[in-house]
Amino acid sequence: MALVENIQSNEARISEAMPGDYFALLKPRVMSLVVFTAFVGMMLAPGSINPLIALIAILAIAVGGGASGALNMWYDADIDAVMTRTKKRPIPAGRIAGGEALAFGLVLSVFSVLTLGTLTNWVAGGLLAFTIFFYAVIYTMWLKRSTPQNIVIGGAAGAFPPMIGWAAVTGGISLESVVLFLIIFLWTPPHFWALALFKLRDYDMAKVPMLPNVAGERHTKLQIVAYSLVLAVVAVSPWPLGLAGPVYGAVSILLGLNFLRHAIAVWRMPDGDATMVPAKKLFGFSLVYLASLFSVLLGEALVMKVLAG
Amino acid sequence: MAENKQDTVEMTDAQKKAQRRRSVALGLVLAAFVVIIYVGSWAKMGASLFDRSL
């Protein structure tokens, strides 16, 4: 009788969640970026790694990244429910209960870290554990709701994967892997602030203090230009550091100039612009920018490995 | 008997289908994990895995 009452009051329920709903908790689109950048970090690292171990390491990094996404969705379900971009996620849509997502995220976190640490080394395993902690606790539970600089500091979580891939091969951290980290770290603010500009009302409704709805559009646009400028310079640095060749150098300069052009277009956009076309263009280009940089890095590294025999 | 019936809940077809699919997925993931750990251990330790005194 009690059970039936609980069901009627919606406190207990029988899940209708499909495996695909659990997969959605892993944020597959973010996971694809994590996999790709971690793989590039692995390929650029000096030294060698058994291909099977490399494959498992990438899988562990992907699952660890996904687990942090599940923990983020568990904690942010209230915010996700009011934002158009996120309200169809499994928890706000009612397909998965918060507690299930929490357990799912915790179990995958533990298993991914143990697998990576055991099969590669504990620097890589430790970095993955720190990444999950940083994203789930530092960013999601603390920064996201408390400061408009949330995405600046929290962006570090998304920037760690190439360092983890590098560490899986070398067992350490070096200037080169920090540069790969910095490229993603500096890319994150203009990427997310461009999104926040045209989703400003969403963040406002969810009471998330993003830069545009706290400091205003003008200040955000200036910050976008400033970060884009630093990003464009830092993104070229793998070339002089010897981590990449002249092809990467030329491509990174051209892409950086294009990024700056888009950022300046956003800066020139009148405040209160209803369509926000330049912001949408910057957001779209930023994805192409990062994917292109890491693709060229990967391409050059593979060519060098083939030439080296 | 009637009391016992009150304590159980009859699942709908959608709930049964979802439960079956989750069970299959969990089974596949666990089997994959076992294979991954086996293959990974073999790749990490290689021949030394079998080169040990009894």
Amino acid code (one letter) for A155: G
**Cα–Cα distance, A223 to A228 (Å, whole number):** 8
B25 and A22 within 8 Å at the Cβ level: the answer is yes
A18 and B39 within 8 Å at the Cβ level: the answer is no
Using CB atoms, which residue from A1, A52, A118 is nearest to B43? A52
pLDDT of B6 reads 60
**Hey, what are A260's tokens?**
């700056």
pLDDT of A9 reads 47
**Hey, what are A60's tokens?**
């562990």
B36 and A19 within 8 Å at the Cβ level: the answer is no
User: A10: left (phi > 0), else alpha (psi -120 to 50), else beta?
Assistant: left
Provide the shortest C-alpha distance from residue B54 to chain A (in Å): 24
Residue B28 lies in a domain: yes
- Average pLDDT rounded to a whole number, residues B21-47: 92
Band of the pLDDT at B50, cuts 50, 70, 90? low
Domain ranges of chain A: 19-172, 174-309
B40 and A53 within 8 Å at the Cβ level: the answer is yes
Q: With beta carbons under 8 A apart, name residues in chain B contacting A15.
A: 15, 18-19, 22
Instruction: Please report the residues numbered 95 through 154 in chain A whose beta carbons come closer than 8 angstroms to any beta carbon of chain B.
Output: 111, 115, 118-119
Q: With beta carbons under 8 A apart, name residues in chain A contacting B9.
A: 3-4, 7, 14
- Average pLDDT rounded to a whole number, residues B1-22: 78
Residue B43 lies in a domain: yes
Band of the pLDDT at A205, cuts 50, 70, 90? confident
Residue B37 domain boundaries? 18-47
Per the structure, how many domains does chain B have? 1
Residue B10 lies in a domain: no
The 10 Å Cβ neighbour count of residue B11 is: 13
**Cα–Cα distance, A122 to A39 (Å, whole number):** 18
DSSP-assigned letter for residue A55? H
CATH number of A19-172: 1.10.357.140
Q: Nearest residue of A to residue B28 by CA position?
A: A19
The 10 Å Cβ neighbour count of residue A142 is: 13
Q: With beta carbons under 8 A apart, name residues in chain B contacting A18.
A: 18, 21-22
**Cα–Cα distance, A158 to A61 (Å, whole number):** 12
Provide the shortest C-alpha distance from residue A1 to chain B (in Å): 6
Using CB atoms, which residue from B6, B15, B25 is nearest to A4? B6
Residue B11 lies in a domain: no
Band of the pLDDT at B47, cuts 50, 70, 90? low
User: What percent of chain A has pLDDT above 70?
Assistant: 96
Provide the shortest C-alpha distance from residue A196 to chain B (in Å): 36
Provide the shortest C-alpha distance from residue A235 to chain B (in Å): 35
pLDDT single digits (tens) A24-81: 999 999 899 999 999 999 999 998 999 999 999 999 999 999 999 999 999 999 999 9
Q: With beta carbons under 8 A apart, name residues in chain A contacting B15.
A: 14-16
Sign of dihedral through CA atoms A145, A146, A149, A154? negative
Q: Which helix (H) or strand (E) holds A219?
A: helix A217-234
Residue B4 lies in a domain: no
Residue B38 lies in a domain: yes
pLDDT at residue A88 is higher than 60: yes
**Cα–Cα distance, A244 to A87 (Å, whole number):** 41
Residue B29 lies in a domain: yes
Q: Nearest residue of A to residue B19 by CA position?
A: A16
| Residue matched to tokens 């003008």 | A218
Q: Which of the two residues, B4 and A256, has the higher pLDDT score?
A: A256
Residue B53 lies in a domain: no
The burial class, CB within 10 Å (0-12 / 13-18 / 19+), for A272 is: exposed
**Angle at CA of residue A159, ends A63 and A58, nearest 5°:** 30
Instruction: Count the helices and strands in chain B (H runs, E runs).
Output: 2, 0
**Hey, what are A243's tokens?**
């981590």
